[in-house]
Each structure stands twice: as C-alpha cells, then as structure tokens.
Amino acid sequence: MTATAEATVLITHEVGLHARPSVKFTKLAKRFPAEVEVALDQGGPWFDAKSIVKVMAAKAPQGTLLHLRASGERAAEAVDALVGLVQRDFDEGKGHARSA
C-alpha cells in the first residue's frame, strides 16, 4: 500500500523559488523517504523536489502556483512540511536574523 498526497501552494516569496529558497526546499524534501515532485502546471512536467537542479529548472517566480505531489512513506507529512516552508516565504522574513 502506497500513501499519496497532493497540495497546491502560492509562492509569495519576492524572488520566487530561487537559489537560496531552492537550497532550503530541496534539503527539506530530502528529509522524507517519500518520492516528492513539484510542477508549475497540474498536467506536468513534474520535477524531482529533492534535486536542486530540477527545482531551479522549474524557474518558479513570485506569484506561481506550485503543485506538489508525493508518494510513499510519510508522503502527507512531506507535502505538509514543504507547503509550510513555501507559505513562510522560506523562513526568510523576520526571524531570519543571523549572528553578526
């Protein structure tokens, strides 16, 4: 039995799924055993969410509706976590303070 999960989230981050957000996004995706994919269009093409090369190749700017789908162990958890990261603008707003 394979669990599957899907979600759609609006990218509100001002530069979109760009270099630094993509590093965070793929790092988070890799923490889950499930196969996770993203697409700009429900009909595809779908990109491996654990590959920064593929995620960057999606070239998703601000205002893009990002589709996510996952299958396998902890699929729902993976999708929830990634949706949360996108909704929080990749944790780059307040609280992104770094030590000087």
Residues lying near other proteins in the complex (CB under 8 A): 14-16, 18-20, 22-23, 26-27, 48, 51-54, 56-57, 59, 61, 92-98, 100
Do 36 and 70 contact (CB within 8 A), yes or no?
A: yes
Q: Say which DSSP state 100 is in.
A: -
Shorter beta-carbon distance to other proteins: residue 80 or 92: 92
* Cross-strand partners of 37: 48, 69
Shorter beta-carbon distance to other proteins: residue 10 or 53: 53
Residue 87 CB, shortest distance to other proteins, in Å, is 16
Residue 97 CB, shortest distance to other proteins, in Å, is 5
Structure-derived torsion over alpha carbons of residues 21, 27, 28, 31, reported in degrees to the nearest 10: 180
